[in-house]
Structure 1
Amino acid sequence: MERINKDIDITANSKDSMLPSGLPTRVLIVEDDEDDYLIIEACIRDIPEKEFLIDWCYEYDEALKRIELGRYDIYFIDYLLGARTGLELLRDAISLGCEDPLVLLTGIGNREVDVQAMTIGAVDYLVKSEINTEKLERSIRYALERSANIKALKANERKFRNIFERSKDAVFLGDEGLVFRDANGATCDLFKYNKEDLQQLSLYYLFARKDAAALLKARLHQTGEVEDEEVELLTRTKEKRNCILSISRQTDSSGGTYFQGIIHDITNLKRIERATFQIEKLRGTATLLRTLAHEVRNPLTNINLSVEQLKPELNSEDANIYLDIIARNCGRIDGLISELLDLSRPAEISLQKAPLQAIIDTTLAAASDRISLKGIGLELSYPDQPAYIMADIEKLKIAFLNIVINAVEAVPKEAGRIIVTIREDGPYYKVFINDNGAGIPDENISRIFEPYFTSKTNGFGLGLAATWNILQSHRASIDVNSQLGEGTSFILVFEQAS
């Protein structure tokens, strides 16, 4: 009998669900023996109440091409295909992404071949000598039902995986110890770890405060969930992130338990809130200062005028001494008022394009005597390329110097360390100034940029207030992370110069 190699191009039916009973089922038989093909074809056609479109292929490469095109609903593949085997064709078909059912045919029953076929991805295994219409009907029905179920599951998996991966929030699965089992890209971006590294870590390890981690562990053990919990988490670079955390315990199909969680990063929102609060606070302070300046300077002017009038009329040396004291202190009060008013208004700046590396190097040179006299270790980490920003160089040096001096005074002698890092982050440059000093108490963090607030016995509390004012004029932001006994980190964010 002449060999036939038909190719029926039927593409109208959907491949994502079971075929409606009224439509023909498309079958490809991959068989190098024409007699065997005819027997199998005849058995299939004898299946009642069902129409089939049956095609035949006897070459390995041609069969693989047809499988890749995906024009059939089910494939029957012979185990022996010349120099190649049906198992090889199964592997190649699966590797090409074939999701339609593959049934392996063999001349002799062999359990090892059966196991291999099922392991590779075959839906059924038939011995040709035992094939009849009933067995083929059962095999086709079972294969198509299983294929439809698997396709539906895969479609749902793709849909939810797409939601999982595209979520802007960090979404993760973890075991009972909150070690990451799976995590989306947003989780990796948040913590600056790749997925493989995350799968070696527990979420508890990433908590900025160990007491908060212990509290979360106790609550999960007791209730199995937390909802909208505000927490502080650390990135790989030890940058603190303010987050909203929700976690719940789930049960899998085998009865085991795991946790699923969502982390919403609110760091920028908190930073904006703090900046807005600081602006409003300083705005209120500025209004008060202007009122006080007006009310104080009026009587102060009268006192100065009175002193000038009295000096020529009083010849007493003692009287002149007291008048000079009055005049000096009036001048001091007037100077303090001017200083306070200067701090309450935006700094006037003249911007030019400049590299952050040069500005920081100049700043550190100005503080080098203090750093070396105290035996402080200094580490610098800069990008290879210049980090250009628009800056008033002299004023920005003052802002950096105030932070560096604070760090120098905070760290212990000889054992002190200051680490200055510049890092590119999208359209911004971030400057990290970290120290291993005593740290700042939580209750003081929100006040350190207030004029005249200081915890030092010999300080005036104007340095960081001036720093904040200068950075605001540069449209830069500043944030502070601190842990008592461990140190403090100032994070300054600048827009890149175009």
Structure 2
Amino acid sequence: MEKQDTLHLGSSEKRNQTINFLENDQKYRRIFEDSIDALLLWDNDHRIIDVNRVGEKLIGIPKKHLIGHRIYEPNNILENGKKEILRHIEQVLEKGQTCSTMFFIDEEGNNRYFDCSSKLDILSGINFTVFKDISERIEIEEQLRKSDTLTVIGELAAGIAHEIRNPMTALKGFIQLLENEITKNHPMYYQVITSELARIDSIINEFLFLAKPKATRFQEKDLNQIMKETVDLLTAQAVLHNIQIVTNMESQLPLIFCEPNQLKKVFINIIKNAIEVMPHGGNITITTKMVEGERVQISIQDEGSGISKEKIKKLGEPFFTTKDQGTGLGLMVSYRIINDHQGKIFIESDEGMGTTFYIELPMDLKEKL
């Protein structure tokens, strides 16, 4: 203990100097403590000298356990967070002051964003940082960006889909007329042509859904039953790929207000994607449960190769896909359906460890419609 006191003596002296300065003028002390932003004072050894109440709350550790420790030492700051903080400190020492947005992944795997503004030597050897949690704002901006993208794609989709559908109809007609001749001489060609035409037709339907979603009839339904019916549809395909679908469904889930066929479309899309990323077999684990008392959460976890953080951010964007022959439209449609249900989709993934899709749906949707 004596050694530790000696080690932090410099920091203690600076802290006392700072406290004396602030206490000499109660107005400044009050501004420091009552600021709506988190405020932090630290020395040139990166050790915390003082922190206000908001900062204490955001960090999640009592002030008495922060004073004297380096800014990046609290045990709830993971490795990626330490690197972000050190990068910010380097810029402060180099420029004298700096502003940056720092990205963290917290202990629960959630993305956290902080705006940080720091100034060197506001008092001799004492540095000052203002920081603010902007995670909610970043999430809303991301949702708005995807929503705007969906609107633009929807407007384009209507015209494109109809332009493609007209020649498609002619092609289908002529192929049917030539069916006997082609199947007799070139059966494999006929199979490939009809299969690809069906795929184009499927893409057109997804375009049309984005352009003008079908009128929805929301009704109270059992989510577990919807998921069970979806799993029954895909079990045969899973078995062919040596995949087992494991379900952990919370019993006594309350009914949710939804459009069951649209939810089924979302589940089918995500589960089929999971099957396709597991060429060597494995398990797909599906879980349903209540969260925070007012929302139902569905998680679909695969054992595939995982997705990088950069690619996760782009999922749901038009024509972005991690599959060789995908269009990305299926996931766009899924995002739109869940958005129409006032829910949200978020994804967690570690490369080499698999991916989990989380879908959360509100219980009080009926009251909001």
TM range, normalised to the smaller chain?
Answer: 0.5 to 0.7
Q: Residue 464 of structure 1: CA displacement?
A: 1.9
Q: Residue 272 of structure 1: CA displacement?
A: 3.2
SS at the partner of 1:454?
A: coil
Residues 419 and 231 of structure 1: CA distance in aligned 2, closer, same or farther (over 3 Å): farther
Q: Tell me, in whole angstroms, the C-alpha distance in 1 between the residues paired with 2:137 and 2:143.
A: 10
Q: How far does the alpha carbon of each residue in 1:325-360 deviate from its partner, in whole angstroms, 9 at most, with x for none?
A: 59947963545423432344335443345676x479
Q: Do the aligned residues in 1 keep the contact of 2:220 with 2:258 (CA within 8 Å)?
A: yes
Which of the numbers 443, 453, 473 marks the counterpart of 2:340?
473
Q: Tell me, in whole angstroms, the C-alpha distance in 2 between the residues paired with 1:272 and 1:483.
A: 24
Q: Where does residue 134 of structure 1 map in the other structure?
A: none
Q: Where does residue 269 of structure 1 map in the other structure?
A: 137
What's the TM-score once normalised by structure 1's chain length? 0.49
Q: Tell me, in whole angstroms, the C-alpha distance in 1 between the residues paired with 2:360 and 2:70.
A: 29
Which structure would you say has the larger RCO, counting Cα contacts within 8 Å and 6 or more residues apart? Answer: 2
Residues 299 and 238 of structure 1: CA distance in aligned 2, closer, same or farther (over 3 Å): closer
Q: Do the aligned residues in 2 keep the contact of 1:233 with 1:240 (CA within 8 Å)?
A: yes
Q: Residue 476 of structure 1: CA displacement?
A: 1.9
Decide which structure has greater helix share: 2
Q: Tell me, in whole angstroms, the C-alpha distance in 2 between the residues paired with 1:418 and 1:201.
A: 41
Q: Residue 239 of structure 1: CA displacement?
A: 0.6
Q: Where does residue 5 of structure 2 map in the other structure?
A: none
Tell me the number of residue pairs that the alignment of Structure 1 and Structure 2 aligns: 333
**Which of 1 and 2 has greater Rg?**
1
Q: Do the aligned residues in 1 keep the contact of 2:158 with 2:211 (CA within 8 Å)?
A: no
Q: Within 5 A, what are the aligned runs for 1:179-328?
A: 181-185=50-54, 188=57, 193-195=60-62, 199=66, 202-203=71-72, 205-206=77-78, 208=80, 211-227=83-99, 229-250=100-121, 257-265=126-134, 267-302=135-170, 317=181, 325=190, 328=194
Q: Tell me, in whole angstroms, the C-alpha distance in 2 between the residues paired with 1:301 and 1:377.
A: 41
Let me know the Cα RMSD of the aligned residues: 5.3
Opposite residue 291 of structure 1, the aligned amino acid is: G
Opposite residue 150 of structure 2, the aligned amino acid is: L
Q: Within 5 A, what are the aligned runs for 1:5-404?
A: 153-154=25-26, 157-158=29-30, 160-161=32-33, 163-164=34-35, 167=36, 169-173=37-41, 176-177=45-46, 181-185=50-54, 188=57, 193-195=60-62, 199=66, 202-203=71-72, 205-206=77-78, 208=80, 211-227=83-99, 229-250=100-121, 257-265=126-134, 267-302=135-170, 317=181, 325=190, 328=194, 332=198, 333-334=200-201, 336-346=203-213, 348-353=215-220, 358=224, 362=228, 389-400=256-267, 402-403=269-270
Q: Do the aligned residues in 2 keep the contact of 1:475 with 1:494 (CA within 8 Å)?
A: yes
What's the TM-score once normalised by structure 2's chain length? 0.63
Residues 194 and 395 of structure 1: CA distance in aligned 2, closer, same or farther (over 3 Å): farther
Q: Residue 246 of structure 1: CA displacement?
A: 1.7
Residues 405 and 209 of structure 1: CA distance in aligned 2, closer, same or farther (over 3 Å): farther
For structure 1, which runs of at least 5 residues remain unmatched after alignment?
1-148
SS at the partner of 2:307?
A: coil
For structure 2, which runs of at least 5 residues remain unmatched after alignment?
1-20
Q: Do the aligned residues in 2 keep the contact of 1:447 with 1:453 (CA within 8 Å)?
A: yes
SS at the partner of 1:390?
A: strand
Q: Residue 232 of structure 1: CA displacement?
A: 1.4
SS at the partner of 1:287?
A: helix
